[in-house]
Amino acid sequence: VSEVELWNYMICFGIRMSKHTDATEVLLEKKGCAGVITLNRPKVLNTLTLNMIRQIYPQLKKWEQDPETFLIIIKGAGGKAFCAGGDIRVVSEAEKANQKIAPLFFREEYMLNNAIGSCQKPYVALLHGITMGGGVGISVHGQFRVATEKCLFAMPETAIGLFPDVGGGYFLPRLQGKLGYFLALTGFRLKGRDVYRAGIATHFVDSEKLGVLEEDLLALKSPSKEDVAAVLENYHTECKIDRDKSFILEEHLDKINSCFSANTMEQIIENLQQDGSSFALEQLKVINKMSPTSLKITLRQLMEGSSKTLQEVLTMEYRLSQACMRGHDFHEGIRALLIDKDRSPKWKPADLKEVTDEYLNNHFKSLGSNDLKF
């Protein structure tokens, strides 16, 4: 893992978390015709805390019912990140100290993801800067996702012994071909217009125009979904940044579709080895660093999620999250990448063939009365 990659993992999973809860971690304001949510932890790249989730969820529900609120906008403060992920290190440390915040954090985070996915008002996420993990969960399920040239998207969870949660099992397998499987298993990063080209963002605008775009949205009078879409479409059409550049993965899409169409991780690895191209071998090198358990969980999560509703996926992912908290690799991944920073996680099991079907099945088992219910 390079220094840059390590820095990305560290920001993604929130390195310096303040231990206190703070009402200003998230700003909830009624402006013009809209409810505006501002994630306000710029020093830690707006990583998402349980406290923030607990403020956003009830306000989102109130605005959804309020006849004077016509749309909801969510954005990040500071200019460097929309939201670089969930406050995962704190969850791991609490779990090891036998403080059970993990069931609450994941349950309430996934409830918020679902509320965004089912929101009856237009929901506009302004994806400026780093947008990873939990930040994807509070944007991608909404109706409109507006990326700028500074947007950096990734779901890098397999590198820390987790899986691409927050509804990743829903939106990733629905991307073109096997692109979502590739992004999920490798943690590959997409930048700028490529976030739009991949189908993750619905619009792409110049970051210098974000302020006036927001003003135009707030100034709308009793707007319909179509009115909101028209404003976004205007800015999208005007944006010339990287318009003539092709998608960064364009030349590799056929390879991705053929190599990642297998039903087992072992077969995907064999496909990449047989392909033998520099691109395939590079992905092989990346995959070989990931948690074997995470890889197998993720592949099955996406395969099953491809035919489930968002709620069914989040119920499945809640089961997986709790199994990962009980297991070894998540805490080891946090240790190796975020705490000791030796970048040498010792995964258990250490090899794909040791991750048996029985072991895998246990991660997907119902939690009975503790299951996530909507």
Active site residues: 86, 134, 157, 165
**Interatomic CA distance for residues 132 and 135, integer angstroms:** 5
Sequential DSSP letters for 18-71 = -SS--GGGEEEEEETTEEEEEE--GGGTT-B-HHHHHHHHHHHHHHHH-TT--E
In which order are the strands placed within the sheet that holds 190-191?
81-83, 130-132, 152-154, 190-191
Is-contact 41 5, C-beta < 8 A?
Answer: no
The C-alpha atoms of residue 158 and residue 160 are separated, in whole angstroms, by 5
Q: Cβ distance 292 to 354 under 8 Å?
A: yes
Q: Order the strands of the 34-39 sheet from edge to edge.
A: 26-31, 34-39, 71-76, 123-127, 144-147, 203-204
Strands (E), the chain: 26-31, 34-39, 71-76, 81-83, 123-127, 130-132, 144-147, 152-154, 190-191, 203-204
> Which two tokens mark 50?
């349980």
Query: What whole-number distance in Å separates Cα of residue 353 and Cα of residue 330?
Result: 19
